[in-house]
């Protein structure tokens, strides 16, 4: 007799009869085998779904990353375009600066050596790649900085030269005796060389230094009375004579326009006035050479 298995199904309702299903060992094996196959298939599908979900998640993350890269590239393109425009602007400015440098060099007589044409900004920065362009712009600016420093130093020297050069007369007043040969003011028909100009002014008139310099003489001179001598450098020396009072002493540094003495009538003089003499490189020069049209302090 073949062995059989039974499954008894008892309904929840008590008034209904239970049912019994019988099946053979063969059917049992079929059921178990089917269950195993179903389990393997279900597990496979489950694992596949998990894998697919992870794949989609990774794929979406990569898409988002690519989108971000694309946006970054667009931003960088805009930045590169901006840098190119800026480079062109710098190029124009450098060309303008180079042009101005040439003019200033000519005016100030500077022997600046700003190297080759390339370093003077005469090439087009737009014709080379941006990174190289910016490197060249940096080199250009370094060269221009050196040139500007040369201009500054030249300007400082120029300003010092201006400050140390007489540019007006020490007092306001009429020229009562000019530079050069003249009849002897003390009478007779003899002539003498007048080594400066006489400027008529009231006794005690404040006398101004006509340029920056250093006092090299302050004292009595038998001809010029109370006399001041100032060395201005650059070979220029000035005298202020016949004074009634000296306000500075030897070694004092004086500035252009500074009151250095009061006029008078001391020494070999026929009346109250200021005698003013200018030497350039040891040679007497007409003081009016150094004055403006109205002889006023500038």
The residue with its CB nearest to Zn ion is 275
Nearest distance, CB of residue 171 and Zn ion, angstroms = 13
**Which residue, 144 or 275, has its beta carbon nearer to Zn ion?**
275
- Which window, 164-172, 196-204, 223-231, 258-266, contacts Zn ion (CB under 5 A)? 196-204
178 burial (CB, 10 Å; 0-12 / 13-18 / 19+) is middle
Stretch of 129-137, 193-201, 207-215, 290-298 contacting Zn ion, by CB under 5 A: 193-201
Tell me the closest approach of the beta carbon of residue 176 to Zn ion, in angstroms.
Answer: 9
Least distance between Zn ion and beta carbon 193 (Å): 11
Q: Least CB distance from residue 205 to Zn ion, whole Å?
A: 15
Here's the x/- map for Zn ion, 197-236, by CB under 5 A: it reads as: -x--------------------------------------
Asked if residue 198 lies in contact with residue 264, where contact means CB atoms within 8 angstroms, the answer is no
Instruction: Tell me whether residue 128 or residue 195 sits nearer to Zn ion (CB atom).
Output: 195
Give the nearer residue to Zn ion in terms of CB position, either 150 or 198: 198
Q: Are 171 and 263 in contact (CB under 8 A)?
A: yes
Cβ-based nearer residue to Zn ion, 256 or 275: 275
Tell me the C-alpha to C-alpha distance, in Å, between residue 286 and each of 2, 143, 181, 182, 278.
Answer: 154, 44, 12, 14, 7
Taking the least distance from each CB to Zn ion, the nearer of 146 and 176 is: 176
Interface residues with Zn ion (CB under 5 A)? Answer: 198, 275
């Amino acid at each position: 007799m073949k062995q059989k298995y039974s499954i008894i199904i008892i309904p929840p309702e008590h008034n209904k009869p239970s049912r019994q299903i019988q099946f053979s060992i063969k059917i049992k094996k079929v059921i178990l085998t089917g269950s195993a196959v179903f389990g393997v298939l279900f597990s496979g599908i489950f694992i596949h779904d998990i894998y697919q979900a992870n794949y989609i998640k990774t794929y979406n993350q990569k898409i988002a990353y690519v989108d971000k890269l694309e946006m970054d590239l667009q931003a960088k393109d805009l930045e590169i375009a901006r840098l190119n425009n800026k480079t062109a602007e710098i190029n124009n400015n450098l060309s303008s600066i180079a042009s101005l440098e040439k003019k200033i060099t000519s005016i100030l007589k500077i022997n600046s050596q700003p190297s080759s044409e390339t370093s003077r900004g005469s090439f087009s920065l737009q014709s080379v790649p941006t990174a190289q362009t910016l490197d060249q712009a940096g080199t250009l600016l370094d060269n221009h900085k050196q040139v500007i420093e040369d201009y500054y130093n030249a300007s400082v020297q120029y300003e010092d030269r201006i400050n140390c050069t007489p540019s007006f007369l020490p007092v306001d007043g009429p020229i009562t005796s000019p530079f050069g040969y003249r009849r002897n003011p003390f009478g007779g028909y003899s002539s003498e060389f007048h080594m400066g100009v006489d400027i008529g002014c009231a006794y005690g008139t404040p006398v101004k230094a006509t340029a920056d310099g250093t006092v090299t003489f302050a004292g009595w001179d038998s001809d010029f009375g109370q006399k001041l001598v100032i060395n201005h450098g650059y070979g220029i020396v000035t005298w202020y004579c016949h004074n009634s009072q000296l306000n500075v002493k030897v070694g004092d540094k004086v500035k252009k326009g500074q009151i250095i003495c009061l006029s008078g009538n001391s020494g070999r003089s026929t009346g109250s006035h200021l005698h003013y003499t200018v030497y350039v490189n040891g040679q007497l020069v007409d003081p009016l050479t150094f004055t403006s049209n109205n002889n006023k302090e500038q």
